[in-house]
């Protein structure tokens, strides 16, 4: 893997926090700097870890696109292949961007957010299904609308909300 390919993988993965990147691919911060500058060749082990991270991010981003297309069927949903950011164009002319935010710092879960960096209006996480929801979603991992400003609830709520048409429209209408 070349230094340019290594840096491009960081962009595609969405992992902008250096500590999260190093944890995700199993390297030290100094090694990351050496790979990025080209001072050291990227090891085969790190190349495999980077390629697996990018593969997984592409896969879960594709699943989120499928959900958004299904639930917002009248809207146009597109994904940028270089950044994995997802654009949503509503029939009303309103647009929203689900930004690939890489991995959640606490758990390493893939995440996307809509709205300003400092206070996103909607946050999607691809997380293991909590035991109390396994009868609805099955065992494994799934996309959840973790945080959103839901008009009918009037509050920002952190919870495992299935990204349904109603909740998506409420959360994305303010982006």
Average the pLDDT over 91-102 and give the result. Answer: 90
**What is each CA distance from 47 to 42, 51, 101, 154, 167, in whole angstroms?**
6, 6, 21, 46, 39
Residue 152 has a pLDDT of 54
* Rama region for 108: left / alpha / beta (φ>0; ψ in -120 to 50; rest): left
Per the DSSP assignment, residues forming a β-bridge with 150 are: 155
Amino acid 131: pLDDT: 72
pTM over 0.75: yes
Q: Using the predicted structure, report yes or no on whether residue 10 has a pLDDT greater than 80.
A: yes
CB 68 within 8 A of CB 79: no
Count of CB atoms within 10 A of residue 104's CB? 16
Long-range contact list for 58-61, CB < 8 A, 24+ apart? 58/12, 58/84, 60/110, 60/126, 60/143, 61/86, 61/100, 61/110, 61/112
Q: What is the pLDDT of residue 148?
A: 61
Would you state the pLDDT for residue 156? 46
pLDDT tens string 20-71: 999 999 999 999 999 999 999 999 999 999 999 999 999 999 999 999 999 9
For residue range 120-175, list pLDDT tens digits in order.
678 888 888 777 777 766 667 878 887 765 555 555 455 667 788 887 877 776 55
pLDDT of residue 84: 96
How many other C-beta atoms lie within 10 A of the C-beta of residue 15? 25
3-state secondary structure of 74: coil
pLDDT at 64 (0 to 100):
95
pLDDT of 71: 92
* Distance between CA atoms of residues 37 and 32, nearest Å: 9
Higher pLDDT, 160 or 85: 85
Q: How far apart (Å, rounded) are the C-alpha atoms in residues 20 and 16?
A: 8
């Amino acid at each position: 893997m070349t230094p340019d390919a290594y840096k491009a993988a960081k962009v595609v993965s969405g992992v902008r926090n250096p500590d999260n990147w190093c944890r995700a691919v199993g390297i030290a911060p100094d090694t990351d700097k050496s790979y990025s500058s080209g001072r050291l060749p990227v090891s085969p082990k790190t190349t495999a870890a980077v390629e697996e991270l990018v593969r997984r991010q592409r896969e879960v981003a594709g699943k989120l696109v499928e959900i958004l297309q299904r639930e917002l069927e009248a809207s146009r949903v597109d994904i940028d292949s270089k950044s994995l950011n997802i654009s949503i164009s509503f029939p009303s002319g309103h647009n929203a961007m689900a930004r690939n935010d890489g991995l959640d710092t606490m758990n390493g879960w893939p995440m996307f957010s809509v709205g300003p960096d400092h206070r996103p209006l909607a946050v999607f996480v691809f997380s293991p299904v909590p035991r109390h929801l396994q009868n609805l979603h099955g065992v494994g991992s799934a996309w959840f609308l973790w945080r959103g400003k839901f008009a009918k609830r009037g509050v920002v709520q952190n919870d495992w909300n299935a990204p349904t048409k109603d909740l998506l429209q409420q959360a994305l209408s303010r982006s």
